[in-house]
Amino acid sequence: MSGRWPVPASARAVGHEARSTWLLSDVPATEQLGTVLARGCPWSETTARVLHLSGELGAGKTTLAAALLRELGVNEPVRSPSYALIELYQLGTRIAAHIDLYRLNSPNELATLGLRDYLTGQTLLIIEWPERGGSAVPKPDLHLQLETLPVRSATASAGSEAGGIWLNDARAALTTEVKN
């Protein structure tokens, strides 16, 4: 899927602006968004939280994911999961799964990753290139569209009530929101 992510009616119904855009004028700005999303992640005991990161090669998806993972407590260098497709981090009782579907050959191949095993509580799935996995990709609580032109920016859309809370937290923490 390309272009704007549809915002489900459920996100609109919970009484918040379901979309925000921030300028990401330099690498620290992209990292700050990752840090803020880590701090505000609405962890659940029963349900995985899902963050989609869309945008062209070089848009800053892995930069953002790495900052998010560091803030969650990952001390080792964050590897891009471009070849392995998935990197797992056990963080105390929590699990973060960093997934990059760029090299997925077909949506069918997604089944071999066993993502279903991670659709459980205390888990966060960060998915780069979610479009490549088609409808088998877990639906996002929050979707980020990273752009480089005309300026670097991130547009966040909530896909669930939890995502709306997540988005509002980020909106409160970041000051560079722009209208879109």
Ligand X SMILES: Nc1ncnc2c1ncn2[C@@H]1O[C@H](COP(=O)(O)OP(=O)(O)O)[C@@H](O)[C@H]1O
Residue 59 lies near ligand X (rule: CB under 6 A): yes
Which of 1, 6, 26, 79 forms a contact with ligand X (CB under 6 A)?
A: 26
- What is the DSSP secondary-structure string of 63-125? HHHHHHHHHHT--SPPPPTTTTSEEEEEETTEEEEEEE-TT-S-GGGGGGGTGGGG-STTEEE
> Which is closer to ligand X, CB of 50 or CB of 59?
59
Which amino acid, 118? Y
Residue 101 lies near ligand X (rule: CB under 6 A): no
Torsion of CA 169, 31, 22, 18, to 10 degrees: -40
Backbone angles phi, psi at 73, to 5 degrees: 115, 10
Per-residue x/- marks for Mg ion, 55-84, CB under 5 A?
Answer: ------xx----------------------
Residue 59's binding partner out of ligand X, Mg ion, none, with CB under 5 to 8 Å set by partner kind = ligand X
> Which is closer to ligand X, CB of 47 or CB of 82?
82
Candidates 19-27, 71-79, 91-99, 119-127 — which segment interacts with ligand X by CB under 6 A? 19-27
Residue 24 lies near ligand X (rule: CB under 6 A): yes
- At 51, is the secondary structure helix, strand, or coil? strand
> Which is closer to ligand X, CB of 50 or CB of 144?
144
Residue keyed to tokens 């560079």: 176
Instruction: Please provide the distance, in angstroms rounded to a whole number, between the alpha carbons at the two ends of the chain.
Output: 20
> Which is closer to ligand X, CB of 108 or CB of 176?
176
Residues that bind Mg ion (CB under 5 A): 61-62
Q: Which chain residues interact with ligand X by CB under 6 A? A: 24, 26-27, 29-30, 55, 57-63, 152
